[in-house]
Amino acid sequence: MNVLLAITGSISAYKTPWLVRDLRRAGHSVRVVMSASATHFVAPLALESVSMQPVIVDPFDPTIQDRGSWHVHLARWADVMLIAPCSASTLARLANGLCDSAVMTVACSLPSTTPLLVAPAMDTDMWQHTAVQRNVQRVQHDGAIIIPPEEGELASGLQGAGRLAELGTIVDAVSRMRAENSGERTIPAATHPTGLAGRRVVITAGPTHEAIDDVRYIGNHSTGTMGFALAEAARDRGALVTLIAGPVHLPTPVGIERIDVTSAVEMHERTMEHADHDVAICAAAVADFMPVDRVVGKIKKDTVAATEHTTLILQRTPDILAALGAQKRPQQVVVGFALESTDLVDYATSKLERKNADMIVANLAGGLQSGFGTTDNTITLITRSAPPESFPPMSKAACANIILDAIERLLPPYDL
Ligand code: C5P
Question: What per-residue string of b and e applies to 237-253 under the rule 16 or more CB within 10 Å gives b?
Answer: bebbbbbbbbbbebeeb
Concerning whether 220 is annotated as a catalytic residue, the answer is: yes
327 shares a domain with 219: yes
Instruction: Give percent above pLDDT 90 in the chain.
Output: 70
225 with 293, same domain: the answer is yes
CATH number at residue 109: 3.40.50.1950
- 346 inside domain: yes
- Interval 379-395 mean pLDDT: 91
Ligand 1 atom with minimal separation from the 264 CA: 21
Among the atoms of ligand 1, which is closest to the Cα of residue 284? Answer: 12
> pTM for the whole thing?
0.59
Report the separation in Å between the CA atom of 198 and the middle of ligand 1, taken as the mean of its atom positions.
Answer: 27
Chain center to CA of 219: 28
Tell me whether residue 375 is in a domain: yes
Range of the structural domain that residue 308 is part of: 200-410
User: In angstroms, rounded to a whole number, what is the distance separating the alpha carbons of residues 226 and 246?
Assistant: 13
By the 10 Å C-beta count (0-12 exposed, 13-18 middle, 19+ buried), 185 is classed as: middle
CATH code for position 206: 3.40.50.10300
296 Ramachandran zone, left/alpha/beta (phi>0; psi -120 to 50): beta
Number of folded domains that form the chain: 2
CA-CA distances (angstroms) from residue 145 to 8, 20, 99, 138, 188? 17, 19, 20, 11, 7
For the segment 391-398, the average pLDDT, to the nearest whole number, is 88
Q: How far apart are CA 147 and CA 39, in angstroms?
A: 22
Tens digits of residue pLDDT in 124-152: 999 999 999 999 989 988 888 889 899 88
Which one of 2, 135, 181, 220 is the catalytic residue?
220
In-domain check, residue 189? no
| Pocket-testing residue among 204, 321, 349, 363, ligand 1, by greatest number of atoms within 8 A of Cβ | 321
Residue 415 belongs to some domain of the structure = no
Same domain, 231 and 317: yes
Instruction: Give the pLDDT of residue 248.
Output: 97
Probe target for ligand 1 pocket from 202, 320, 324, with the most ligand atoms within 8 Å of CB = 320
Q: Are residues 157 and 223 in the same domain?
A: no
Of 241, 202, 248, 242, the residue nearest 223 (C-alpha):
248
Whether 218 and 338 map to the same domain: the answer is: yes
**Domain presence at residue 193:** no
Judged by phi (left if over 0) then psi (alpha if -120 to 50, else beta), residue 84 lies in: beta
- On whether both 390 and 300 belong to a single domain, the answer is yes
Q: Ligand 1 centroid vs 206 CA: distance in angstroms?
A: 12
Average predicted confidence (pLDDT) for the chain: 90
Please report, for residues 41, 72, 88, 127, 357, the alpha-carbon distance to residue 161 in angstroms, rounded to integers and kept in the order given. Answer: 20, 35, 14, 7, 43
- State pLDDT tens for residues 293-306: 999 999 999 999 99
The ligand 1 atom at the shortest distance from the C-alpha of residue 355 is: 8
Q: Which residue has the higher pLDDT, 371 or 78?
A: 78
Per-residue confidence (pLDDT) for residue 186, from 0 to 100: 38
